[in-house]
Amino acid sequence: MATLTKIERPAEAASAVDVAEPAAPVVKEFKGLSGQTVVIKAQDLAGADVIVLSENTDCEFELAGVAATKVVCQESSGVLIKIPLGCSLSSGTVEIRACKGLRIKTTMPLRLVEAWDSSTVSVTFNNPEQLGEIKHQGVTDLSVAFANAAEYNTAVTPDTLAKAAPDAPADTTLFVTRFFDAEVITEDSLKRDEEDRIKKEKAKPKMDPEQKAMLARAKEMLGDKKPEGIDHTVSGHSGETLTVAKADLPDKPVLMLQDNTDCTIEVKDASLVKLLVQGCSGCVVILPASCTIITSTIEVWDCKGITLNSAIEIGTIQVDMCEDVKIQFPTGKALGQVVQAGVHSLAITFEQEPQLNTSLTLPVLQTIAPGLLPEDNTTQIITRLIDGKVLSEEIIRLANDFPTTEREKAKHDKDIEAKDAALREMANSMLSNVGDKLSPAEKQTIQGEVLKQTAGHAASVDTDTGVDARVEFKKKQGNEAFKAKDYQQAAVFYTDCITLKENVPVIWANRSMCWLKMSEAAKALADADKSISLDANYTKAHFRRGVALIELKRFVDALKTFRTVLDLDPKNAAAKASMMLAEKKLSMQNR
């Protein structure tokens, strides 16, 4: 086990906020193997963060339930890497360096695949939605394939690269390949990044931060029900048997089944981008083996007595605010995940494996999420096949809003503890081996470095849960944005805090200060008043109220407010100066 060389980055401008240096990753290396099949298990990593495959030939590596940061494959040929569901790569990244004939087969999403100076590289996903980005430079013969959507299989040829960057040398240009607008595209990365930057600059929101925050919350609550593709709606039918075939649909269809009653609807020989079901009652939706869903996603909401019979694997089924929902699969393998909220009668059955059948009634849900009320439409339950069993768990949010479960959080915490223990063991071993060759100061330096790295592990992820932790995290983001003079973004973060918890006076006062910085005196006054209503002795809220009143030319009220500040804090020099300013402006106003 070794430690990766730290990559130095250009120095950044000094900040008022001290940021702890991240702990150096710990590596588990598999090197110099030939013709072997290697199953990498969690116990093989012994606290390592990064899996490195070096100088291997004609080998197969399969990750089995491991939790790591990323996988790196370098200077290898004829290697196959399998990354099945059940693994966890926290960065979502695989790196490829100087390899030939490398194949990656993954059934889990990858945020980023980086490939450098390699040839004949292929990456296979289940469906295009799992492809984040493939960044590649100096790579010949790259292919991207999809086991469940072969029509999107793509070969990145020299002609592809020439079209993407006609005026740049292909061997030194950084390209990016991704799934966009229902097709796999390859672009010049630098050109794409510059275009994205320009678009973002032009698209900077003109609405005020409060409106922006409200819109974000609405999207989160309602979901973005319209993915990329062309809408095709089947609606208003009653008591009919309907077949939706490929010939009936547009190119790249998003199929919406809406407001149908007592119907049987079969999607036959069709390839959908996504399936949406809304406002249907007493309907059966059939997805035979001849049907494919590119994003592997189905959303169902506001339905009653709905049955979904799927012969194909579905990555995610989202069911919201429904009654009496039945989901039928042939086997447990077809179940990716079912996420439900506001659904108190949901049954998931498996024709060939009835022992896996699951019924999620309100009493069952209350054992999973104690305190769940019948009117609760926000608590989310996720159901998946874990270790051969169907498991339903409550989704919790970490402080940074990352969704997880208590089981996964406990496993993550245990992995962090194991990594820290391994680091301490390495340090103790190092100290014992060198004997008296190190001075006390040098020994203390080594021990200090271990403490620093274990502290870095603890600080690298905000693992606290609950509303208070999320409020504190958002508040911290708001404070950092304010220090960076991004007052609009700071106001958005403080608004997020208020949405989570309305009775924190400091948050209202902080947002009041943002409004003052953006010359929104009326909003600043309203927020300061709210803060004072929560804590009548909060000096900062009174002071910001006074400043807002001066901006609104209400100088008499401003004088009264600054007098209150001085009653609370007689030595407040800023309040004294502001009172003098208010008196001067009042005098000028009365002339």
Residue 276: its pLDDT value, please?
A: 95
Q: Which two tokens stand for residue 327?
A: 């989901």
Mean pLDDT value across residues 95-119: 93
On the question of pLDDT at 16 being above 50, the answer is: no
On the question of pLDDT at 461 being above 50, the answer is: no
pLDDT digits (tens, 9 = 90+) for 262-274: 999 999 989 999 9
pLDDT digits (tens, 9 = 90+) for 404-447: 777 877 776 676 676 667 666 766 666 666 656 667 776 677 66
**What is the per-residue burial (b if ≥16 Cβ within 10 Å, else e) of 454-486?**
beebeeebbbebeeebbbbbbbbbbbbbbeeee
pLDDT digits (tens, 9 = 90+) for 31-64: 999 999 999 988 888 777 789 999 999 999 999 8
Task: For 422, list phi and psi in degrees, rounded to 5.
Answer: -65, -40
Residue 13: its pLDDT value, please?
A: 32
Per the listing, tokens 């409020």 go with 471
On the question of pLDDT at 109 being above 70, the answer is: yes
User: Within 13 Å, how many C-alpha atoms sit on residue 564's CB side?
Assistant: 19
Residue 224: its pLDDT value, please?
A: 44
pTM: 0.48
pLDDT digits (tens, 9 = 90+) for 548-561: 999 999 999 999 99
Give the percent of the chain with pLDDT over 90: 49
Across the chain, what does the average pLDDT equal?
Answer: 83
User: Within 13 Å, how many C-alpha atoms sit on residue 352's CB side?
Assistant: 9
pLDDT digits (tens, 9 = 90+) for 275-304: 999 999 999 999 999 999 988 999 999 999
pLDDT digits (tens, 9 = 90+) for 573-588: 888 988 998 888 888 8
CB of 351 closer than 8 Å to CB of 330? yes
For the four alpha carbons of 194, 197, 201 and 202, in that order, the dihedral sign comes to positive
On the question of pLDDT at 462 being above 70, the answer is: no
- How distant, in Å, are the alpha carbons of 126, 217, 479, 587 from that of 80? 16, 43, 47, 82
On the question of pLDDT at 544 being above 70, the answer is: yes
Dist. CA 530–CA 512, nearest whole Å? 10
DSSP secondary structure string, 123-153?
A: EEESSGGGEEEEEEES-EEEEEEETT-GGG-
- C-alpha closest to that of 318 among 297, 336, 332, 334: 297
Residue 195: its pLDDT value, please?
A: 59
Residue ranges and CATH numbers for the domains of the chain are 2-6+17-190 (2.160.20), 216-394 (2.160.20.70), 406-460 (no CATH), 467-589 (1.25.40.10)
pLDDT digits (tens, 9 = 90+) for 61-89: 999 888 888 999 999 999 999 998 878 88
Beta bridge mates, 31: 54
